[in-house]
Amino acid sequence: MRAACYTGAGAAATVISFEDLDAPAAGPGEVLIRVAAVGLNPVDVKIRAAGHDFGPIRYADRPGWDVAGTIVEVGTGVKGWAQGDDVFALARFPEAAHTLAELVAVPADDLAAAPRAWSAAQAGAAPLAALTAWQALDAAGIREDGAARVLVLGGAGGVGHLAVQLAAARGAHVLATAGAAKQALVAGWGADEVIDYRDDDALAAIGPVDAVIVTVSDTLPPRGAVAEGTAVITITGFSAAQEEELRGWGAEPVQRILVAADGAQLAGVAALADAGRITVHLDSEYGFDDLAAAEERVETGRVTGKVVVLVDSAG
């Protein structure tokens, strides 16, 4: 089978290559998937450029974590899945998963049935971003009671556009920041208020919220958004000084999360997709041969929604 690989650390156009490998087998507790589509995430390009682990996130010279495709083999001890099932997964994260290949073995615990309402490209694009948004909202204590005010910093990116939709689906009043050109899209995803992140006056006018989900680097929430007990969850991290400042404003908890593979939560994502309550906006789709160009698109930092690679363009 054909698989993407990195020949070393460095620029996408230089180090991305392809190799022919023996087909893997489904181990105990795993299924073998014929891969249709794989979403790309900033972590893929950061780890390729660096060529080493980031904390618990494993570097591998065979990339990819997101996947959508069709089960072709079921390993021993796996219940509830059969050949021919269309599935999607964030595989093994933060361990290496090698999903950018024609076939990949994935732990059954990481799988969910692909939403019928989504294309294979959308399903492949979603898992890491959707689970990050889901787990950030959980960490912020946002449940389905409809009472919360939630601010998403970075409402147009891969994680942000799903955080906006999932927060709205949990009944929250959603505020989101986005560039001027993307505001209409973000409103369409269910944000009640969209604030231009380059407009300091508009940012300063944001009042207290129950939770802030930070998806952009080096960005503190606007001072007015944080009151006593505002949960501030970052997926990009704060410096120690920023954390101290937030706690001084009354934020609690102030927490950085790292997404974890979770098939049960992904089934929750799929249920919302099939109910028509969330979608995946595709910034761009690339063929497998164009993986380097796809990674370069992610590297611009200007992505709207998700970038996806079609490994099997018939899928």
Ligand X SMILES: NC(=O)c1ccc[n+]([C@@H]2O[C@H](COP(=O)([O-])OP(=O)(O)OC[C@H]3O[C@@H](n4cnc5c(N)ncnc54)[C@H](OP(=O)(O)O)[C@@H]3O)[C@@H](O)[C@H]2O)c1
Under the rule (CB under 6 A), what is the footprint of ligand X? 41-43, 128-129, 132, 153-154, 156-160, 177-179, 182, 197, 215-217, 219, 235-236, 257-259, 301-304
**133's tokens:** 């948004």
Helices (H), the chain: 12-15, 42-50, 120-125, 127-139, 158-169, 183-188, 200-204, 240-248, 263-274, 291-299
User: What is the nearest approach in angstroms of ligand X to the Cβ of residue 48?
Assistant: 13
Phi, psi of 180, rounded to the nearest 5 degrees: -55, -40
User: What is the nearest approach in angstroms of ligand X to the Cβ of residue 274?
Assistant: 23
User: What is the nearest approach in angstroms of ligand X to the Cβ of residue 203?
Assistant: 10
Query: Is the Cβ of residue 248 or residue 301 nearer to ligand X in the bound state?
Result: 301
Long-range contacts of 7-12 (CB under 8 A, 24+ apart): 7/61, 8/51, 9/48, 9/49, 9/50, 9/51, 9/52, 10/48, 10/49, 10/51, 11/49, 12/45, 12/48, 12/291, 12/292, 12/293, 12/295, 12/296, 12/299
User: What is the nearest approach in angstroms of ligand X to the Cβ of residue 212?
Assistant: 12
Type of residue numbered 234: T
Q: How far is CA 281 from the centre of its chain?
A: 12
User: What is the nearest approach in angstroms of ligand X to the Cβ of residue 283?
Assistant: 8
Query: Is the Cβ of residue 3 or residue 225 nearer to ligand X in the bound state?
Result: 225
User: What is the rounded distance in angstroms from the CA atom of residue 246 to the CA atom of residue 264?
Assistant: 33
Query: Is the Cβ of residue 11 or residue 181 nearer to ligand X in the bound state?
Result: 181
**84's tokens:** 């021919």
Query: Is the Cβ of residue 26 or residue 186 nearer to ligand X in the bound state?
Result: 186
Query: Is the Cβ of residue 14 or residue 217 nearer to ligand X in the bound state?
Result: 217
Beta strands 86-90; 66-74: pairing state? antiparallel
User: What is the nearest approach in angstroms of ligand X to the Cβ of residue 69?
Assistant: 21
Query: Is the Cβ of residue 258 or residue 271 nearer to ligand X in the bound state?
Result: 258
